[in-house]
Amino acid sequence: MFRRAAVLIGLTTTILLAETSDARADGWQPNAVQQRVGGDLYWWSAKGLGSSFALVPFLQYGLTENVFLDVKLPLASNVNGFDDKTRFGLGDPMVGAHYAVSTSSLTWYVGGRTNLPILTLTDDSTQQFAAATAGLAMALYDAHLWTSYYLPVAAFAGVEVPASDMVMIRAQLDPELYLPLKDKPNVGALAARNKLQFVYQAKAEVEARAESGIGGGGGLQFVHVPAADGDNAQLAAEGFFGYASGDLFLRGGILVALDEPLGFGFDKGKVVSLHLQAGTRF
């Protein structure tokens, strides 16, 4: 199933790329070439685990015309958890950079990233539990923000394509290595333990936006840990609405895990999360 989903994403993106038209004239820019600051908030609630929040402030800053600094500072909380306690904690701050080239018909970018292993350095079970549930709220995507006892090092590549004056298509692939830091059980989002891990994640989405700035769309995200035991892949989908005016951008959506281990999202105890995003371009 997971292979078919990945192939479907790839084929869909290829077909849409072939049908690309010129970028729209009012300056709706691809995300990869913008200077942006803002934040994402995910909220997931399940009986027996309480409410879990993942707050991820982000900064994308242009160092040159084509090179951009990428920073994320994740924060996690689990409210009224399995023992009726509330826990807060930091995730692992991310720093990276990417090189982006934009034309009238295509924007492509490549880059790399790593994380400061705060969860490993503090070795605090309270923070680690809050971070682990934050990773679940994001359906295991970007697990490098929440994973204890590993140092993630990743490359990524992506495209953004204006398929028409009103439609933007985005796709990204992230191959990652998780380097073990301590000989302890992993309590983060990864199921595999205490050895070098290869992980990859991918996402694709389509967004439509009117001249008024109102729009919406949908996408798929996929995470795979090949060496992990049991069900080692997770597929999720998100539908969203958005609004942009001047430098302001807003987005609200519902993220739904589609298969095991976290789905189907609307089943009891599975993952369906509210996802909000707000920020500004500068």
pLDDT at 190 over 90: no
Token pair for 72:
């994320």
Report the number of distinct structural domains present in the chain: 1
pLDDT at 1 over 60: no
SS3 state of residue 125: helix
**Mean pLDDT over the full length of the chain:** 88
155: containing domain: 2-281
Q: What is the dihedral of CA 191, 77, 87, 132, to 10 degrees?
A: 0
pTM for the whole structure: 0.87
Phi, psi of 2 (to 5 degrees): -65, -40
pLDDT, mean of residues 54-79 = 98
> pLDDT digits over 132-156, tens only?
999 999 999 999 999 999 999 999 9
At 276 the pLDDT is 98
DSSP conformation letters of the chain: -HHHHHHHHHHHHHHHHHT--PPPTT----GGGS-EEEEEEEEEEETTTEEEEEEEEEEEEESSSSEEEEEE--EEEEES-TTS--EEEE---EEEEEEEEE-SS-EEEEEEEEE--HHHHH--HHHHHHHHHHHHHTTTTTGGGT-TTEEEEEEEEEEEEE-SSSEEEEEEEEEEEEEE-SSS---SS--S-SS-EEEEEEEEEEEEE-TTSEEEEEEEEEEE-TTSSSS-EEEEEEEEEEEEETTEEEEEEEEEE-STTT-STTSTT--EEEEEEEEEE-
Which residues is 75 bridged to in the sheet? 55, 90
pLDDT, mean of residues 88-93 = 95
Share of the chain above pLDDT 90, in %: 77
134: domain CATH number? 2.40.160.40
pLDDT at 28 over 80: no
pLDDT, mean of residues 252-273 = 96
Rounded distance between C-alpha atoms, residue 99 and residue 111, angstroms = 6
> How does residue 186 score in pLDDT terms, banded at 50, 70 and 90?
very low
- Cis ω for the linkage preceding 152 (within 30 of 0): no
pLDDT, mean of residues 21-30 = 54
> How does residue 24 score in pLDDT terms, banded at 50, 70 and 90?
very low
